[in-house]
Each structure stands twice: as structure tokens, then as C-alpha cells.
Amino acid sequence: MVPNSISVGAFSLSTRKVRETLVAKRHDLAEQVKLLLADFPRRVCEKVNAEFKQINKQLAIKTTDPEVGLCRLILSNPVLKAPMVSALEARI
């Protein structure tokens, strides 16, 4: 980096302000690089989150289809579910 002072012949020049400016600039550039590196994964995560919200909205819609209600009833009751599963496995 830059030293705090430079001797030029009989003169001594203070480079403290130049050094501080360069250090601040380097620090700012490092922060900008971190933000740029995090930006792409952040955008991907925001897209995925939006898709999950859309799916969640669709799942929250109640259905009036009697077949769906019957399927949910069968799947929620273990006594009714076992014969259905075994019948489906026999077909496969």
C-alpha cells in the first residue's frame, strides 16, 4: 500500500489522506463485490419463493368436487385406505 509519508530530497510529503482514500475505496469495492456475488442467488431464491407462494395459493382453494372430497376421506381413514392401496398395488 501507500506509506504514511514520503521523503523527496529535503521535503517530507504526507500521504496519509491518499492512503485513507485508497483504503476506503478498496473497502467499498470489496463490499460491492460481496453484494454482486449475493445478488444472483438472492434473485433465484425470490423466484422460487414466488413460485411456492403461487402453489400455496392454489392449494388453499377449497374444492367442491365430490371425488376429491371422497379421495381425501379415504386417504385420511386408515381402515379405508389399506384396501384401496392393496387393490392399487395389485394392478401395478
Reading the chain (92 residues) residue by residue, the pLDDT tens digits are 777 778 788 878 888 888 889 999 999 999 999 999 999 999 999 999 999 998 888 777 676 777 777 777 777 777 777 887 787 777 76
15 contacts 2 by C-beta, under 8 angstroms: yes
In this structure, are 47 and 69 located in the same domain? no
In this structure, are 42 and 69 located in the same domain? no
Structural domain boundaries, residue 57:
1-61
In this structure, are 10 and 54 located in the same domain? yes
In this structure, are 8 and 38 located in the same domain? yes
Radius of gyration (C-alpha) of the chain in whole angstroms: 34
Residue 5's contacts (CB-CB under 8 Å, 6 or more residues apart) are: 12, 13, 14, 15, 16
pTM given for the model: 0.44
In this structure, are 36 and 78 located in the same domain? no
Identify the sign of the CA torsion 57, 58, 64, 67: negative
